[in-house]
Structure 1
């Protein structure tokens, strides 16, 4: 519990035993610095790295449409001010409105907490005060109880500290799904930016209390024809603590994995948000922030324009036009491209648009991050109509239902507009689709598996007016392929035959074979070209390209037995004989499960301007490897943004090197020692040992492969560096195709899964070679641990566990490739899993 003054009342606890708020200890304050342009801002940050820097502190001031300057308002410490002034920057200290508002909120919470939230709101229709974190959930539940036919309360996971992530769905027939667009309104991904929280609570109350009322036909239309998901407090731990980050100190709006794959480890709040989004078909959405007054549209991570750039600008204007302070503010018409404002990676809106096709706009609702409670009524007046018009836009462009002529049933179809490289999908339950489009005339293509693709030309749209286009697709003709899957002795195998489209490689279906029927299989497929892949546990996977047509075809597979071969295994207990370079054994000695590990600067901290490498002494031959994995344990303490450690691979004997990503790397900054920018690097601090894994699939077939670790630093701030232990390279080869290197151990295949591919669950079977500790986990293709199935002492022999397709937090894992990996003493084995939709 936060420290309190002697005469201060104790902070109450919520139903989970967590404090309802905290008393903030202020160590920084706002200053104002005027800069000519973004290049000068970059130079400032390189000269004086500011701990609390974020994009909302950068205000673009336009003198005219072509000329601007920056007003930079960071929160800084006294030491940072001294460093800035020493570097030649004039810092003007300004009134700390955020601190004043937060301290007033803390005082009000202490005074009013004994009253219920409903009592505080008695007689008012909108929030004129800041609610505590527990009160937010109570308010949402109260709304659902008061309007059971229009509102449904839900949770979509928990935060790091265990607080519920809560929301409310508003629609007529709210407990049933209908063919209508889904809209997501979310807020407070940064805990110290709560205006969006109040706006969305007010919006929920506004929709429900005015539904069906004369003079509010627009409200009734939204509730009747849209499904609105309001998720107002995505970072409750940050709100309680009044901090930007979650409880792990991570910026959740820099934590998303795509389309810039530099953030491989997702926080629990991020995973929960992604899972909720992937289980719905959102058409448009927003995540509300504060610290600026602008609608920020894609992309954030690149200056390249998004495929739907013209429409994204119109959607942004749909909000800003009805918010006059925003429209007439510092940004022209109240909108900006994200990268043009300030380039960032790992943002929520980029992931949403790239991975789900939903148009997500970042809404910055107040120049003051935490304004006073007295400003809330005015903010609501500014944002009410904007929220109405923004939500209504989910039907703009083209929408309709796609069905099959043979059944009349809805189809799981893809909708693509010629010239716009961003498709949308139908909701398979109802077949409805929503493709937001700017004004124009377009050719639109509809595709569904098993049906003839159809393109409709000359579809005219006008922004602000929905164009309804229902489409019926005719079925495709089908043909058959049959064959057997056997071993090299002609004996039938229990196997899976997977089919993928050729050459795109999209998964189609899987059929099973059985040893008892000679390994026979038959598949009924749409006419076309496919890759057929035969997979059997303990055997080398084999594939063939086939063409399905009117005449049945035969495709047999004869699989060679496989073996797992450890090419390198080093726990550094026998010295450094497998390596060459400037690193040494840790001093003082410390290892993961042994005495020693490898460290870049034993007994000291790393020096200035370091470029210290440690390279495998012998190259690896992957020429006949079918699969391959690098695994190692590591921990580190490195200066973020300026120092780091690259893990690199070379396929030409060491001339060119490529950095490799694990689940714990992030993107290099391009500053200090982290050059060049945008490549995976270890940085920051990880005090406990963590398991890293790299899939060698891109490098299979290479004959001269080297691996190295490279510690880089700038000219200031030194830490203990990077520690490495239990380094291993393991490949799968055709049995006895090549002997392992001396001292390496040959492992029998000891893990299998059935069914595979699977949905929703599969049984993982594994053989423990020696009685003792066993760890069986599910990993994704980035090497991230998704779920631990076994961590226990087991008897030698065969065991099994069911994986239900869920991650450790209970959410459904996304469809795709995973690996089941067993570690038993010094034995390691694994198998590939494919979870399909």
Structure 2
């Protein structure tokens, strides 16, 4: 019998069965639940830590899918993050219930769960700020517990998109809170395509940009991204799938939101936010979901709040299959990293690039789009693609690009494409190639069981 199987059996005997009730679980109870789910479902779950908090608590992520412990070419990566503000707690409950629902549906061979987990790798971080949660009280509006143990607001701690482009900082050199640094490193190791972070205090789906430097992105009081049509669609998918959000006027002392959605900047400007960072520097489209008028809802309200959000949480994951996906191959048929894959009319601050597997993912609404693919020592390739609506089929349109070498080739292609203006610093700041973070997390996932066991015994 292998050592890993022995360890798994040991965990199953030591860790008691955990019944997921509708209540607020402590960080230790949450850890126990994630451990049990992972041990009981090794074929579709993989538990790993992306780092630690100021107080040394692990930031646990549960990945679910057919190959939960590694990326599969052609399978998009999706993530949910909750409890970024320690006193905004509903997201913790919803994401644990979502895990339970996905696993239950898979074990019951329910079509919707099988389709999601066969087609998508889903990462769930139930708490980004467990230290803040430990300090929170149950007040609906007060801020006790909002910040981490250094007194920092984690949703103001990311390198700011617009200030960053002006000042040219290097993300790897910038001082960050450990929880923020953990998420930045996480983004280096996976090519996340779609994401949402769960908050409380309002009922609205907010989309980028959250900030502006007064440039051409400002349109009618909103700070508009090149993918504004996609962001608006994503926000409305969540809002319309939610039981009440689309009504737009559910919370007292909060201005009504048309259709239950808002541009972040138009609501209120925010510097150093996580959703802008995801979009600009990690090619991951992210929404901020405000899911309860009360930041710390009474426990008796939790079942109804889960019912309100269940279909919206599932429908939003399915949107990861919008648009087009595929790979870029060089003239020798080898997939290439760092090729620019650009869509005409969408001038992203940091152009989208292929990952280390040569993959690209572009979330787009149905229509015809002109693509331009650029890679050193190869001819620029332009192609027009007709894009259908992929979520219904649980797959974006599949299209690979095969490049041809230029006739003036003088040597091997460099590892990074030549770029103009600000784009070289985009890749240097985030270093999307990753590698170091992936290796570090592999060590963490191998050793996490012993760490958790010690925490249960001590």
Instruction: Please state which band the TM-score falls in when normalised by the shorter chain.
Output: 0.7 to 0.9
Secondary structure of 2:85's counterpart equals coil
Taking structure 1 as reference, are residues 117 and 135 closer, same or farther at Cα in structure 2, changes over 3 Å only? Answer: farther
Instruction: Indicate the residue corresponding to 1:512 in structure 2.
Output: none
Conserved? CA contact 1:394–1:434, under 8 Å? no
Query: 5+ residue gaps in structure 2?
Result: 1-13, 137-144, 213-221, 250-256, 430-434, 443-458
Instruction: Indicate the residue corresponding to 2:207 in structure 1.
Output: 297
Selected match of 1:308 from 212, 227, 232: 227
Taking structure 1 as reference, are residues 504 and 130 closer, same or farther at Cα in structure 2, changes over 3 Å only? Answer: closer
Q: TM-score, normalised by structure 1?
A: 0.43
Selected match of 1:278 from 182, 185, 188: 188
Conserved? CA contact 2:375–2:417, under 8 Å? no
Taking structure 1 as reference, are residues 253 and 157 closer, same or farther at Cα in structure 2, changes over 3 Å only? Answer: same
Alignment of 1:96-495 (within 5 A): 121=19, 126-179=20-73, 180-211=75-106, 213-214=108-109, 216-242=110-136, 243-261=145-163, 265-302=175-212, 303-330=222-249, 331-409=257-335, 411-422=337-348, 423-429=351-357, 431-457=358-384, 459-462=386-389, 464=391, 466-477=396-407, 479-480=409-410
Instruction: Indicate the residue corresponding to 2:451 in structure 1.
Output: none
Taking structure 1 as reference, are residues 505 and 245 closer, same or farther at Cα in structure 2, changes over 3 Å only? Answer: closer
Secondary structure of 2:356's counterpart equals coil
CA distance in 1, matches of 2:69, 2:177: 30
Conserved? CA contact 1:185–1:287, under 8 Å? yes
More helix by share: 2
CA distance in 1, matches of 2:373, 2:417: 20
CA distance in 1, matches of 2:28, 2:146: 19
Query: By how many angstroms is 1:447 displaced?
Result: 2.3
CA distance in 2, matches of 1:504, 1:117: 55
Taking structure 1 as reference, are residues 449 and 199 closer, same or farther at Cα in structure 2, changes over 3 Å only? Answer: farther
Query: By how many angstroms is 1:413 displaced?
Result: 2.6
Instruction: Indicate the residue corresponding to 1:736 in structure 2.
Output: none
CA distance in 2, matches of 1:329, 1:292: 10
Bigger RCO (CA 8 Å, 6+ sep)? 2
Query: By how many angstroms is 1:421 displaced?
Result: 1.2
Aligned-residue CA RMSD in angstroms?
A: 2.9
Conserved? CA contact 2:337–2:353, under 8 Å? no
Query: By how many angstroms is 1:424 displaced?
Result: 2.5
Alignment of 1:656-675 (within 5 A): none
Taking structure 1 as reference, are residues 393 and 118 closer, same or farther at Cα in structure 2, changes over 3 Å only? Answer: farther
Conserved? CA contact 1:290–1:369, under 8 Å? yes
CA distance in 1, matches of 2:61, 2:420: 42
CA distance in 2, matches of 1:187, 1:359: 16
Query: By how many angstroms is 1:119 displaced?
Result: 5.5
Taking structure 1 as reference, are residues 193 and 811 closer, same or farther at Cα in structure 2, changes over 3 Å only? Answer: same
Question: Per-residue displacement from partner, 1:113-158 (whole Å, max 9, x unpaired)?
Answer: xxx996661xxxx531110011111111111101001100000110
Conserved? CA contact 1:323–1:386, under 8 Å? yes
Query: By how many angstroms is 1:395 displaced?
Result: 1.2
Secondary structure of 1:266's counterpart equals coil
Conserved? CA contact 1:182–1:227, under 8 Å? yes
More strand by share: 1
Query: By how many angstroms is 1:326 displaced?
Result: 1.1
Secondary structure of 1:260's counterpart equals helix
Query: 5+ residue gaps in structure 1?
Result: 1-115, 482-496, 508-779, 782-804, 813-837
CA distance in 2, matches of 1:500, 1:411: 9
CA distance in 1, matches of 2:125, 2:372: 34
Question: Per-residue displacement from partner, 1:725-784 (whole Å, max 9, x unpaired)?
Answer: xxxxxxxxxxxxxxxxxxxxxxxxxxxxxxxxxxxxxxxxxxxxxxxxxxxxxxx99xxx
Q: TM-score, normalised by structure 2?
A: 0.76
CA distance in 1, matches of 2:125, 2:441: 17
Query: By how many angstroms is 1:202 displaced?
Result: 1.0
Query: By how many angstroms is 1:502 displaced?
Result: 7.7
Taking structure 1 as reference, are residues 208 and 448 closer, same or farther at Cα in structure 2, changes over 3 Å only? Answer: farther
Conserved? CA contact 2:18–2:36, under 8 Å? no
Deviates more, 1:449-458 or 1:139-148: 449-458
Instruction: Indicate the residue corresponding to 1:26 in structure 2.
Output: none
Instruction: Indicate the residue corresponding to 1:658 in structure 2.
Output: none
Taking structure 1 as reference, are residues 503 and 298 closer, same or farther at Cα in structure 2, changes over 3 Å only? Answer: closer
Q: How many residues align?
A: 379
Secondary structure of 1:223's counterpart equals helix
Taking structure 1 as reference, are residues 505 and 392 closer, same or farther at Cα in structure 2, changes over 3 Å only? Answer: closer
Query: By how many angstroms is 1:475 displaced?
Result: 2.8
CA distance in 2, matches of 1:174, 1:257: 30
